[in-house]
Amino acid sequence: MAVSTRRARGQALAVTAGVMASNASGYLLTVVAARALAPAAFGELGALLAVLLVGAVPAMGVQTVVALRVAGHPGECRAPLIGLGLAVASVVAVLAGVAVPVIVGVLRVGDVLAVVWLACAVGPLTVNGLWHGLLQGRQRFAVFGAFVAAEAGLRVGGALVGLVISRSTTGALAGVAVGTAVSAVVGWVVCGRPRPARFPLVRLREAGHAVQALLAMVVLVNLDLVLARHVLPVSSGEYAVGAVLTKIAYWLPNAIAIMILPRLASAGARAGHHTGRGRAVVGALAVCAALDGVVVVGSVLFGSQAMRLIGGQSYVYSVLALWPFAVVGSLLSLAQILLFARIAGHDRRATLLTWLAVAVETGLVLLWLNDSPLEVVSAAVVATGLLVLAGAAVEVQIRHRRTT
C-alpha cells in the first residue's frame, strides 16, 4: 500500500510539474510579447491566442476518448484510435482554414498570414491530443508530464523565436505553428511511431460528444471574466486580478483530473457497471476538495496581500474579497471531475447541465448581479455550485439505480 501511495504521489507530481511548466511558458510568452510588440499588436496576438484556445477543444475531446478507450480495453489494437485522431485533426484543420476570412474580419487582423499560421497550428494541436490520450490511457504519467512540458516549450519557444526575428504577430504565430508541428512529431516518436487504421463511426460520435462537453466547460471557466468586462468596464481590471485566483484553484488539482480519467474506465471495466467508477469519483472529489480548501482558506486569511502580489501597486487600496474567486475555481475543479465521470459513462446529461450553468450565470449577471465585481463573482458561485450539486445528484442516482 505504501509503495502504491508513493507511486501515485510521484505520478501526480510529474503531471503537476508538466502542467505548471506549460502554464509558466504561456506566462513567459505574454510577458515577452507585451514588451516586444506595440500595444495594438499585442492585443491582436492575445485575441488570436484566445481563438487558438478554442481550437484546442477538439484536441481535448480526442484525448478524452482515446484515454478512456485505451484504459478500458488495454488489449485492443491502437491503430483505429490513431486513425480517429488523424481524421479529427484533418477535419479541424480544414475548418480552421475555412474560418480564416471570418477570423480576419471579426478580429480586424491586419495581416491575413497571421491567421493562416494560426490555422496551421490547429491540426498538429489536435494530433497532440491523440498522443496525450495514448499516454494518459496507458497511465504513463511521468512521460505524459514530460511531453506536456516539452510540447509547451516547443510551441512557446517557436513563438519567442518568431517574435525576436520579426517583431510581429505573424512571426509569433508562425513560430507557434512550427513548434506545434515539431511537438506532434516528437509525440509520435514517444508513443512508438504508431500507424493508423480505419475506425468505427461510434468512436467519432464519442469524440463529438466529448468535444461538446469540454467546450461547455471551457466556456464556463472563462465566462465570468467576459461578463465582468461587459457589465463593469471600469472595474474589469480588478475583477481580472481576482480571476487569477480562480484559475489557480481550478488548475491546482488538474493532475487529479488527468489521472482519474483512465481509472474511471478501468475501474468500471473491473468492477462492473458503475461501482468502480463511483469509488474513483468520490476519491477524486475528496482530494480536489482538500487541495482547494487550502486555497480558499489562504484567500480568506491573506486576501489583501494576494491582491497586491497579483495586481501590483495599482490595487493596494482594493477591498475586493478574493475568497469567492477561490470558491469558483474550486467548484469548477469538482465540476470537471463529475463531467469526466459522465463522459466515461457515455451520459450526455453532463453536457446539458454544463450549458445550463452557462445560461444561469449569464442570466444572473445580465439581469441582476451586475453592480460590482463581488456581485458578478457571486453569480459565478451560484451557477457553478448548482452545477456541482446537479452533477453529484446524477452520480448518486446512477449508483442507486445500479445497486437496486
Residues 176 and 257 in one domain: no
Q: Which of 164, 187, 204 is the last residue of a domain?
A: 204
| pTM for this entry | 0.84
Q: Which of 204, 223, 247 is the last residue of a domain?
A: 204
Whether 226 is in a domain gets the answer no
Whether 211 is in a domain gets the answer no
CA distances from 183 to 56, 76, 123, 153, 284 (A): 15, 26, 12, 9, 30
Whether 34 is in a domain gets the answer yes
pLDDT surpasses 70 at 270: no
CA distance 114 to 116: 5
Residues 244 and 175 in one domain: no
How many residues appear in the chain? 404
Residues 267 and 180 in one domain: no
Q: Give the residue with greater pLDDT, 316 vs 177.
A: 177
117-173 tens-digit pLDDT:
999 999 999 999 999 999 999 989 999 999 999 999 999 999 999 998 998 999 999
Contact indicator for 114, 230 with CB cutoff of 8 Å: no
Residues 240 and 379 in one domain: yes
CA distance 259 to 390: 23
What contacts 374, CB < 8 A, 6 or more positions away? 320, 321, 324
At residue 263 the predicted structure's pLDDT band, cuts being 50, 70 and 90, is confident
Residues 251 and 142 in one domain: no
Percent of the residues in the chain that have a pLDDT greater than 90, as a whole number: 44
Question: Helix axis angle, 323-344 relative to 236-251, nearest 10°?
Answer: 50
Residues 251 and 303 in one domain: yes
Q: Which of 365, 403, 366 is nearest to 381 (CA)?
A: 365
Whether 209 is in a domain gets the answer no
Residues 167 and 70 in one domain: yes
Cell of residue 280, nine digits: 474513483
Cell of residue 267, nine digits: 475501474
Amino acid code (one letter) for 76? E
Report the greatest alpha carbon distance in the chain.
Answer: 66
Whether 216 is in a domain gets the answer no
Contact indicator for 67, 259 with CB cutoff of 8 Å: no
Residues 32 and 161 in one domain: yes
Burial of residue 39 (number of CB atoms within 10 Å: 0-12, 13-18, 19+): exposed
CA distance 334 to 350: 13
Whether 222 is in a domain gets the answer no
Q: Which of 204, 227, 250 is the last residue of a domain?
A: 204
Residues 197 and 300 in one domain: no
DSSP one-letter string for 244-267: HHHHHHHHTTHHHHHHHHHHHHHH
At residue 1 the predicted structure's pLDDT band, cuts being 50, 70 and 90, is very low
Q: Give the residue with greater pLDDT, 140 vs 239.
A: 140
Whether 13 is in a domain gets the answer yes
pLDDT surpasses 90 at 319: no
Beta strands in 303-363 (DSSP E): none
pLDDT surpasses 60 at 274: no
> Which domain does 151 fall in, by range?
5-204
Mean pLDDT of 92-113: 91
Burial of residue 170 (number of CB atoms within 10 Å: 0-12, 13-18, 19+): buried
Residues 138 and 270 in one domain: no
Residues 259 and 366 in one domain: yes
Whether 291 is in a domain gets the answer yes
pLDDT surpasses 50 at 235: yes
71-80, 126-135, 171-180, 304-313: lowest mean pLDDT where? 304-313
| Residue 193 DSSP class | -
In the chain, how many domains are there?
Answer: 2
Residues 92 and 148 in one domain: yes
